[in-house]
Amino acid sequence: MTSTGSAHLLTAILQSLQAPAGRNTNIRTIVNNTAVTLSRLTNPLNVSLLTTQSLAAPAIWNNPSPLSASQAVFDIFRLSTQERARESNRALSLNEWIDAVVTGADARVPRWKHALVSSGILAAFEADDARLPFTTRTNLEAHLLEVVNFHFEFSTSGIETHACILAISNAYRLLSEDSRYMLNYPALTGALLPAMFLSPEGYQTGDFLRQIDRSVPIGQQKMAVVPSFSLKDFLTHPFVANMGALAKLAATSMASSGETETINGALSVLATYSRSLVSIWRETGLSTLPDDATISHDPVQTNTAQLWHVLKSSLFSAVVVLESIVRILLQSHQIARNNEVHTFASQILCILRDFYFITHRTNPAAFGTYMFVYHACVDIVMSNPAQAESLAAQLAPIQDQIPAGTIPAHPTDILRDLYFLNTLEYLVISCSPRFCTTIVSPSLTPYLTSPSITPILREPFESAHSLMLAMIGCPQLVESSYKILPGYIESVFAAYPLFLSTRQFRLAMASLIKFTSPPTALSGIQRDLPDIILEMLCARIEAADSRYPVKAYKPPSSVPADATPDGSAPAAAEPQAEEEFTERDVCILSMLDSLPFMEEAALERWLDIAAGYVGKTTKGDSREALRGRFWDVISGELDVGRSQLAIPWWSEGGREVVLGISA
């Protein structure tokens, strides 16, 4: 390009940068034109001039979103450097050109804008950093770290800090190991997490839900309380669009810091966000909308499926940070010595409780990071019985808000109960009898006594059964367990097969025999409890239907989980096998499942009874399945003492009874 042409082009660009920003201003066009012009300039003074003007241009910075302006400036220097690096035959060498750009970011330009220049140049060499001279790279990295460390240490909010976060998040993966070592990680964590979850440029402490709710169309009209909220525009916010990279940077920063104060600050931010998010979600009408409901007509029609994508992204980002914290808790001897690890683990489980209305839709079993965080924290808390009971009290339904003995009306409250029931199944072994009587029993009783085929109530119902079995198996709860046992046994028989799944019924029967057979504490109160339960099972076998298979309960099809934070899709859940057993078959299978737990003195009698039921089965498929299960039990599931009874029994006539062969 001739000097005259270059001068005309520079003049035109400078005029466009100085023009006041208006509704018709196209920032992307300004960015592209400025980047191309900057890359073609060969006079160092002109390069510095255009750099200075870009960092103060009204057309860019008079923007309702200062962070979007920062993103635009970052893009100018990244794109111009990429363009300049592709052409080596210039009067001005690449190194001289970079020096001229850096010179343009002089003392008249706020220091935080310097970070955008340095990170933009560094980011341009992500694909091929060999062309950037070592000395130049070192100077750029040192300058960037000097600026961001200063702002992270003395300011944790505002455009200055947010611009520095934008700069370091784009350049961090390109920094040398020595430069990364110089980064102030505690200060970075303290600035980064509030920016991600609490700031207007991030997830806004969940307030975006309230704005969406106000914009939900009613029929063909829209509520005109506030201007319509655009979910599409929200997703283009620099922090929201780059949340995956920010979450990984936050996790790295947390791991590199590992200080108790930093962990406290991080958990405080996540707790504030999760509490606010679930509170706003509960108070709005968004939770009741179907997945294809329109939530915005202007400017682009969006639906609740896209909203769930945003919510899941916020969950994934939070869990990535929590994983880093959990790893610190497991590895830090200092935190363990200070006895803070149990408190931190409890806080994490409370945060996960508030996120559960999102987690429930994401197939958590396929989300490995979430499962690691959850189970690791449960294990940590269980190692301290006092902390376990304290956590259980925090997770328990609030009696002032939901009357004792009733099922909440709001779906979000039901899901919180479900999280409580699932978690308490692990913690109940550490809870006192008084706590279980006053807190646990009132929480699970409504679900046990009011079975429902409604999908949202089915899971709490089965979780309540699992928790009840866990309570019955706790030695410290033997007195209270004995009192509630008769009612619970009746509820199990009454709930199957309409409300209780086959798997849950078989598990309940086997567990009841296990917990009431010697040498358990319950057997010391009433030794014949197993015989009573099995006699009830025999009566059910005689009355049960033997013609038609039990209708298999299939949970409602869940919304497919979005990609996990590492970019891969969660593994698909295994399809549920079709149940072909009749009600009579299931009751017999339950008796067979119980054989390994029976007292040796009673085993032989119940072997005869169970074998008789199997031998009398006439339906072909059922007969083969029952015979196979009987053989599996006596050949591989009995301990040594019971095997010494079962093997002679089998060879002395038991086999013929099972096969239905007349003596």
Q: What is the DSSP string of 171-187?
A: HGGGS-HHHHHTS-HHH
Residue 369 scores a pLDDT above 50: yes
Separation between Cα atoms, residue 543 and residue 556, nearest integer Å: 31
Residue 49 scores a pLDDT above 50: yes
Residue 329 scores a pLDDT above 70: yes
Q: Can you tell me the mean pLDDT for 366-382?
A: 93
Q: How confident is the model at residue 280 (pLDDT cuts 50, 70, 90)?
A: very high
What percentage of the chain carries pLDDT values higher than 90? 54
Residue 303, amino acid = N
Residue 296 scores a pLDDT above 90: no
Residue 555 scores a pLDDT above 80: no
Residue 419 scores a pLDDT above 90: yes
- The contacts found for 301-305 with CB under 8 angstroms, 24 or more apart, are 302/230, 302/231, 302/232, 305/559
pLDDT digits (tens, 9 = 90+) for 611-646: 999 999 888 888 899 999 999 999 889 999 999 999
Return the ∠ at Cα 237 (arms to 120 and 277), rounded to 5°.
135
Cis peptide before 570 (omega within 30 of 0): no
pLDDT digits (tens, 9 = 90+) for 192-245: 999 999 999 999 999 999 888 887 765 444 444 445 677 888 888 999 999 999
pLDDT at residue 505, as a whole number:
93
Q: Can you tell me the mean pLDDT for 121-137?
A: 81
- Of 1 and 498, the structure prediction assigns the larger pLDDT to 498
pLDDT at residue 100, as a whole number:
94
Find tokens 């301290």 and name the residue.
Answer: 384
DSSP notation for 380-435? HHHTSHHHHHHHHHHHS--TTTS-TT---SSHHHHHHHHHHHHHHHHHGGGS-HHH
pLDDT at residue 129, as a whole number:
54
Return the closest-CA partner of residue 360 out of 285, 411, 298, 284.
411
| Buried b or exposed e, range 436-460, using 16+ CB within 10 angstroms | beebbbbbbbbbbeebeeeeebbbb
pLDDT digits (tens, 9 = 90+) for 474-493: 988 999 889 889 989 999 99
Residue 355 is given by DSSP the state T
pLDDT at residue 24, as a whole number:
58
Return the ∠ at Cα 317 (arms to 315 and 323), rounded to 5°.
95
For the chain, how big is the Rg over CA atoms in Å? 33
pLDDT at residue 576, as a whole number:
40
pLDDT at residue 619, as a whole number:
83
Top mean-pLDDT range of 277-291, 344-358, 364-378: 344-358
Contact indicator for 19, 58 with CB cutoff of 8 Å: yes
Separation between Cα atoms, residue 226 and residue 235, nearest integer Å: 19
pLDDT digits (tens, 9 = 90+) for 516-536: 998 888 988 888 999 999 999
Contact indicator for 519, 527 with CB cutoff of 8 Å: no
pTM of the model: 0.88
- Of 414 and 574, the structure prediction assigns the larger pLDDT to 414
Question: What is the chain's mean pLDDT, rounded?
Answer: 86
What percentage of the chain carries pLDDT values higher than 70? 88
Q: Can you tell me the mean pLDDT for 538-551?
A: 87
pLDDT at residue 565, as a whole number:
41
Separation between Cα atoms, residue 7 and residue 2, nearest integer Å: 9
pLDDT at residue 424, as a whole number:
95
Residues contacting residue 398 through CB under 8 Å, at least 6 positions apart: none
Top mean-pLDDT range of 169-173, 363-367, 575-579: 169-173
Residue 446 scores a pLDDT above 80: yes
Q: Can you tell me the mean pLDDT for 361-386?
A: 90
